[in-house]
Structures are given as structure tokens and as C-alpha cells.
Structure 1
């Protein structure tokens, strides 16, 4: 599977797309922000 084929979401804080990561394998449905920084600085 290439990176292009991985699921993608849009971060509500920075409005940038981010892709699935292995560390989010079990909680991808709950992931909303692309980084801890975005989570901390959300609008």
C-alpha cells in the first residue's frame, strides 16, 4: 500500500490534510487533529 492509498482527514485547526499513521491504527476514528500542537491551539 502506498502513501497515496492511505486514508486522509482534514485538521479542523490548521485546515491541512493529514494521513493515517501506524500509531493511530487502533484509534483512527477518534483522531481529529494532525498534531499535539493543533490540538492545543484549536480555535
Structure 2
């Protein structure tokens, strides 16, 4: 039997993106941020913890 390949409802290139307030890198929408995407500011837990140490 063949393994079924996962199919995405949306193409990854069409996902919304934001710039991390800590490191300045772009990051894409994630399913776990679905309910509060407007409030998400950091790309990771590490950036959230270190948000006062701004990197240029």
C-alpha cells in the first residue's frame, strides 16, 4: 500500500507573514496562532523571552 501524502488546504506561499519584534526575521502563520494571530509579535518562545535584548 502507498502512504497517503498530506495535502494542504492552502498553499504555503499564501500564508500570512509578520516580522519578529525581537530578531527582525520574517515568520509565517501557524495553526496554533489561529485564534490570536493579530496579537502574535515574536517568532519563537526564545525571542519572546529575550525581547528586551534587541538585535540589529
Q: Is the TM value for this pair above 0.5? A: yes
- Selected match of 1:28 from 18, 34, 37: 37
Q: Unaligned stretches of 5+ in structure 2?
A: 1-9
- Name the TM-score, length of structure 1 as normaliser: 0.92
Count of residues in Structure 1 that have an aligned counterpart in Structure 2: 43
Q: What is the Cα-based RMSD across aligned positions, in Å?
A: 0.7
**Larger CA Rg, structure 1 vs 2:** 2
- Name the TM-score, length of structure 2 as normaliser: 0.73
